[in-house]
Amino acid sequence: MSRFGIVHAAIAALFLPGPAVAAELIADGRFEKGQDTFWASDGPTLERENGRLCVETQGGGEVWSQIVGVNGLTLVPGRIYRLSLRIAAKPARAIAVRVQRAADPWTAVAEFTTAGSPDGSPFSVEFEATEPDEAQLVLLLGGAEAGRICLDDVSLVATGAVSQAAKRATEGPVIRVNQLGYFTGGPKRATFIADVKRPIDFQLLDAKDKVVGKGKTQPSGFDPTAGVETQVADFSSFATAGDGYRLVSGDWASDRFSIGDNLYDRLRVDALSWFYPQRSGIEIKAAIAGKAYARSAGHVGVAPNQGDTAVPCLDSKQAVALYGGWSCSYRLDVSGGWYDAGDHGKYAVTGALSAAQLLAAYERGRVYAAASPVTRDGLSRIPENGNGMPDILDEARWELEFLLRMMVPDGAPLAGMVHHKVHDTTWTAPPLLPSDDPQPRALYRPSTAATLDVAAVAAQGARLFADQNPTFSARLLAAARKAWMAANANPALLAPKSDGLGGGGDYDDDSISDELFWAATELYLTTGDEAYLNVLRASPLWAADTLSPGGAFDWRNVAGFARLQLALYGTGLPDDERELIRNAVLAAARHFLSVQQTEPFGLVYRPEGRRYDWGSNQLMLQNIIVLSAAFDLSGEKSFLDGAREGMDYILGRNAMALSYVTGYGTRAPKNQHSRWYAHQRDPQLPNPPVGSLAGGPNSTFVDDVARQHLKGCAPQTCYADDIEAYGSNEIAINWNAPLAYVASFLADAR
């Protein structure tokens, strides 16, 4: 067994990696051994002579038309680097020097201008690395008169210094754990952040601080996504249920956690109950949601609110810019549904997938978990509680009814298509209750993506409501077929990208092959009609790898979700085809496990370039859902163990030492971006309710908080619990829906 171990006080302050001797990143930068790897763009020819690298430059052109560079530079975000070189230029000239991303879009990490003189000018500068991608050093030599340039003494080394942002991973406890806890028969691992090369002794203490286990860590090296050296402690063999456990090593101690098999029961309830106060068009009652969350109905036309009961189509300069003048003559009642995220917008594409994942949690409970509470009435905190209908179906129906209202009415142009979204025509800011929103609302042009998404979730709903409410089931199936026909008649009505000033998110999508695949999947599963199956067989996605460790699926890429649905519920497929799809899911899940085994924090996520995406936490959850599907399909415990360990990151075993679910763990966010859960801005308003998932670290800085405070952050630390940090700290229906699914799976699966 590999275990973390006790550390002596003498090394208790050693967290960040800091090599005693800086490693040189430029091979043979003195050009003495003939082992350098410099290259030149088309045009100039490199010559190596007398310990220098020289090039004859041509006159004119753009500055980037002639380049000399070297690739293969691995920089760690937050580290300070020193670049030095000597440049001789005849005639003398200014030369642009860049350290940049080694692939499109060639983002600059640092850029400088230096003078090249005939006798060789020395140049030295320090800079902070901000990107986790592989970098290159380039000299831009075009745009000047012809001449000769020679390089010598080229060096790039880490100074050992780190930026303040890069130190964020060392600010919490050295020992990072799942702050909720671990299953008695599941994996139990923790991550130590310590620049110690040898294994470390550790002890497991119970609630009375009695030693109940011990072991040694396994050094796991530098984690570029966290910016720190790590070790992993494995105490999986300990299987005694209880609360108040913690790991200790010398002066280091983890947060306390539980061990047991009912840890996710409460999270299932809270994650599902989260949707009720997110509802539009209904009073939120204190007796159900809690006194702090009671509010008037939003967007029902009570002043100053203009309501969603008779919303016109967008008809403005923005409509001309977006759609070439499209508008409509009707108004629609699009009340109800869920507010998408921290604003008051409602979007068909995110709403459809969110409702679908709640429905999927119900179907999974019905098919793969006998007597699961998720299939019953009385599970969550909603006004429909006690009506005899499973609560999760009641909640999904609230959104389904809204989505049906978003359809273009019969007799109008584009009849049967679904409006992409409805929201304010100008942005609002927190704090603002939904009932106090004074802005006009508008329907945006229907899109093929939204229409196919609604066809998919309506068909899925028809299947699952058939026994509970046949009348509603029939309505859903009729709507699904109508939307399918309309989308096929309008196959390229895409949602465009805007200037971002229009009061809501774009949710633009330039490819609808995945939406077509999902809609055909659900219609086939519900009707058994071979015509839909033939659409699937003809799709390039039928045999494609649709499940990526960078995010198996989300609202923009739904083919992976369709793949899971086919694998789990396609019992009518021919045996060979069902086996094909089943094996594709199992292969993807095994790949996810192999990724997880190399991650010191046990996460199931490997984005391209290790740049964390917007909503990274929900992408991890979707990947966990792939593991859950593999377990349901195969019964192999490794998939269940992978899903269990994958939640460690979400619940505290991460570089921020933060549980990303409000109300869970020792430290959790409470200032997620929201107009009405805006306690940070107005003490009279509440923080987000328990069970709210924060979006998670985001390597792309889209808000001012990130731009001002997170420069140089390692990917896992590009997060701030601030109401204005919407890029990393927003709440969203399509983030809490997979949380509810995963919590329900983990509460049931054994």
Q: What single-letter amino acid sits at 131? A: E
* Other CB atoms within 10 A of residue 738 CB: 30
Q: Which of 460, 443, 446 has the alpha carbon at shortest distance from 414?
A: 446
Q: What single-letter amino acid sits at 522? A: E
Calculate the CA 583 to chain-centre distance. Answer: 26
Q: In sequence order, what are the residues at sequence separation of 6 or more whose Cβ sits closer than 8 angstroms to the Cβ of residue 625?
A: 552, 564, 738, 741, 742, 745
Q: Which residue has the tokens 């085994």?
A: 597
Sign of CA dihedral 139, 145, 151, 155: negative
Burial class of residue 671 (count of CB atoms within 10 Å of its CB; 0-12, 13-18, 19+): buried
The tokens for 383 are: 């006004």
Round to whole Å and give the CA distance between 55 and 50.
13
Helix/strand/coil (H/E/C) assignment for every residue in 15-37: CCCCCCCCCECCCCCCCCCCCCC
CA-angle at 232, arms to 226 and 236, nearest 5°: 135
Round to whole Å and give the CA distance between 115 and 92.
7
Residue 133 annotated in active site: no
Determine the length of the chain.
750
Interstrand relation of 181-182 and 257-259 (parallel, antiparallel or unpaired): parallel
* Other CB atoms within 10 A of residue 498 CB: 15
Backbone angles phi, psi at 4, to 5 degrees: -80, 155
Longest alpha-carbon distance in the chain = 88
Residue 437 annotated in active site: no
Round to whole Å and give the CA distance between 8 and 675.
48
Round to whole Å and give the CA distance between 479 and 473.
10
Return the SS3 of 591. helix
Backbone angles phi, psi at 126, to 5 degrees: -110, 145
Dihedral (Cα; 641, 736, 668, 4), 10-degree rounding: 10
DSSP state of 242: E
Q: Which of 526, 409, 415, 410 has the alpha carbon at shortest distance from 461?
A: 526
Q: Which of 461, 270, 506 has the alpha carbon at shortest distance from 363?
A: 461
Round to whole Å and give the CA distance between 227 and 32.
34
Round to whole Å and give the CA distance between 32 and 53.
10
Round to whole Å and give the CA distance between 42 and 54.
15
Round to whole Å and give the CA distance between 736 and 271.
6
Q: Which residue has the tokens 């609202």?
A: 555
Contact 649, 601 (CB under 8 A): yes
The one catalytic residue in 255, 394, 721, 722 is 721
Residue 126 annotated in active site: no
Q: In sequence order, what are the residues at sequence separation of 6 or more whose Cβ sits closer than 8 angstroms to the Cβ of residue 143?
A: 60, 61, 62, 63, 65
Q: Which of 294, 285, 287 has the alpha carbon at shortest distance from 685?
A: 294
Q: Which residue has the tokens 């293969």?
A: 72
The tokens for 624 are: 């966990």
Round to whole Å and give the CA distance between 493 and 313.
16
Q: Which of 692, 696, 650 has the alpha carbon at shortest distance from 670?
A: 692
Q: Which of 367, 510, 498 has the alpha carbon at shortest distance from 426?
A: 498
The one catalytic residue in 195, 343, 363, 554 is 343
The one catalytic residue in 36, 724, 730, 748 is 730
Calculate the CA 578 to chain-centre distance. Answer: 30
* Other CB atoms within 10 A of residue 80 CB: 16
Residue 128 annotated in active site: no
The one catalytic residue in 344, 419, 423, 673 is 673
Known catalytic residues?
343, 673, 721, 730
